[in-house]
Amino acid sequence: MFSLLLKDVLILKKQFLLVLLFILFANYFMVFSTSGIVFIPGLTVVLTYALVVQSCLLDDKANSELILLSLPLLRRDIVRTKYFSLFFYALSSILSTLIFQLIKALLSHPTAFSLTWGIFLTSIFAASLMGSVYYPFYFRLGYVKSRIISTVVFFTLFFGSSFVAGLLNHHSQSPVIQALGKAVQWLHDLSTLGSTTLTLLFILLFTGSSYLLSRRFYQRREF
Amino acid sequence: MPNILEVENLSKTFPRFSLQKISFSLAPGYIMGFIGPNGAGKSTTLKLIMHLLHKDSGQIKIFGLDPQHYERQIKDRIGFVYDENHFYEELTLKAMARIMASCYSHWEPQTFTSYLEQFSLPPKEKIKKLSWGMQMKFSLALALSHQAELLILDEPTSGLDPIIRHELIEILSALREDEKKAVLFSTHITTDLEQIADYITFIHDGQLVFSRAKDDILERYALVKGDPGLLTRENQSLFTGWNQTRYGFTGLVPDRAQARLLLGNRVLFEKATLDDIMLYTVRGKAHV
């Protein structure tokens, strides 16, 4: 797995630099929001998605699967590393944002904010959700075919949230929405330990199911 | 000594092509040439051996092991060169080698460096800046640097200049001296094989034509030249294929002794090359 992670890091060197520049730009101008709870998870998802897709694009461009699958690696190693690198990209993005925010705080910049445990978990959860949706398509269909589907799914997830929020507000008196509201309130009232455990369980459930599905698809692929 | 590679009744069906019951084996210390025209199924066979494709039926054993269950252990002992390069163009040779090296348990940095020097490959150059021939040489250097016991080469010499092709042949000959290693060498350039191959496996249209010792093949097959009148219905069965003009015919016989017995001194016998054998087998009974 180390070899494959090393491969991703080496082929994405330029992209990592671009991501850093983007994080610097986004942090300086706070282009998305003044609230960390929206800004950091949003930025994490966008940048993780960009790196995941770039990595898959470069693999596809080189048709490198022929080489990778001829090395002493198993197909499941390749799938596992893609999921592992997803978290690596997300953590790198969060860490870079944190560093820039710390610098801003040191410079007493008015828009500096601190990274809370909740923001961190939400960011990881959002990135893992995105990857869990993208990878099964990628491993089943390859990069080119999966690109269209994944783009649609990604933008639906990303922008659909505001539509869903609007819908929830509009039908706020419906019993289903009220039950959902109670569930959200219950989640909100949970202790840090409770909410952390629940979030981690969700991450494990989504990512685990997605990984098993991707592995199954990839085992059947032919090159 | 047990075979390094055993392929038995290997079959794979695609919508427009099928590989049918291919069988051959390769013992350590030998080089096998794998020949056939384009689309014969050579790359499909090699991909099945490398587990890039899933077989429909048949058996493959490498180092006596089933690749489906011992894939990692087997591939650690295989060196491969494909007919196209599938490296990351933006990486330098050094970076690409670093990735590959981390996958193998017996990577030898000194061997790799010496091949880079031998092939005049600059380690800090980006792969995209290399010519096609240089990329192929880089691929060879990678395949030869981790003590591979089985080398699988898919058209490694196409695109290489004659000097490097000669160097490659020398390297492969040296490898053969280590009696633990074997080479499966698919190529269109059969003159390379006539120099170094011990065995030839010939497939055509997804079917095995033969898999035999090269010397035996070259000894048994012959080109026969003679008067067109000699190509009677009875005599035609002696030939794998022939080319006939109004002045004469040239044909390939798979059994020189039998042909000599029946045709005697009425025809001229000449040594057949692997190219002749492939050409007449593929074209069959062509008439002009």
Of residues B72, B78, B105, nearest to A74 (C-beta): B72
* Residue A129 maps to a domain: yes
Number of structural domains, chain A?
1
Using a CB–CB cutoff of 8 Å, tell me whether B71 touches chain A: yes
Chain B contact set for A58 (CB, 8 A)? 88, 90
The string of pLDDT tens digits covering residues A158-198 is: 677 677 777 777 777 777 777 777 777 777 777 778 878 88
Rounded to a whole number, what is the distance in Å from the CA of B227 to chain A's nearest CA? Answer: 50
> Domain limits at A204?
2-160+173-220
Nearest-Cα residue of chain B relative to residue A65: B86
Q: Report the C-alpha gap between B71 and B54 in whole angstroms.
A: 13
DSSP state of B128: G
* Residue A190 maps to a domain: yes
How high is the pLDDT of residue B76?
A: 96
* Residue A24 maps to a domain: yes
Chain A contact set for B72 (CB, 8 A)? 72-74
Burial of A176 (0-12, 13-18, 19+ CB in 10 A): exposed
Q: For every one of its 288 residues, what pLDDT tens digit does chain B have, with 9 covering 90 and above?
A: 789 999 999 999 999 999 999 999 999 999 999 999 888 999 999 999 999 999 999 999 999 999 989 999 999 999 999 888 889 989 999 999 999 999 999 999 999 999 999 889 999 999 999 988 888 889 989 999 999 999 999 988 777 778 878 888 888 888 888 888 999 999 878 888 888 999 999 999 999 999 999 999 999 999 999 998 888 888 888 999 998 888 899 999 999 999 998 888 889 999 999 999 999 998 876 544
Chain A contact set for B47 (CB, 8 A)? 223
Q: What is the ipTM of this complex?
A: 0.86
How high is the pLDDT of residue B229?
A: 85
Using a CB–CB cutoff of 8 Å, tell me whether B268 touches chain A: no
Of residues B53, B89, B103, nearest to A3 (C-beta): B103
Mean pLDDT, residues A199-204 taken together: 88
* Residue A207 maps to a domain: yes
How high is the pLDDT of residue B110?
A: 95
In this complex, do A6 and B99 lie within 8 Å of one another by their Cβ atoms?
yes
CB B217 within 8 A of CB B252: no
Burial of B159 (0-12, 13-18, 19+ CB in 10 A): middle
| Superfamily per CATH, domain B5-214 | P-loop containing nucleotide triphosphate hydrolases (3.40.50.300)
In this complex, do B75 and A11 lie within 8 Å of one another by their Cβ atoms?
no
Between A and B, how many residue pairs show a Cβ–Cβ distance under 8 A? 70
Q: Which of A204, A214, A202 is nearest to A80 (CA)?
A: A214
Using a CB–CB cutoff of 8 Å, tell me whether B104 touches chain A: yes
Of residues A14, A63, A70, nearest to B50 (C-beta): A70
How high is the pLDDT of residue B126?
A: 94
The string of pLDDT tens digits covering residues B230-265 is: 888 888 889 999 988 888 999 999 999 999 988 888
Could you tell me the residue ranges of all domains in chain B? 5-214, 221-287
Using a CB–CB cutoff of 8 Å, tell me whether B53 touches chain A: yes
In this structure, chain B runs to a length of: 288
* Residue A166 maps to a domain: no
* Residue A165 maps to a domain: no
Helix, strand, or coil (residue B256): helix
Query: Is A91's pLDDT higher than 80?
Result: yes
Q: First CA to last CA across chain B, in angstroms?
A: 49
How high is the pLDDT of residue B288?
A: 40
Count of CA atoms in the C-beta half-sphere (13 A) of A134: 30
The string of pLDDT tens digits covering residues A37-84 is: 677 888 888 899 899 999 999 999 988 889 999 999 999 999 999 999
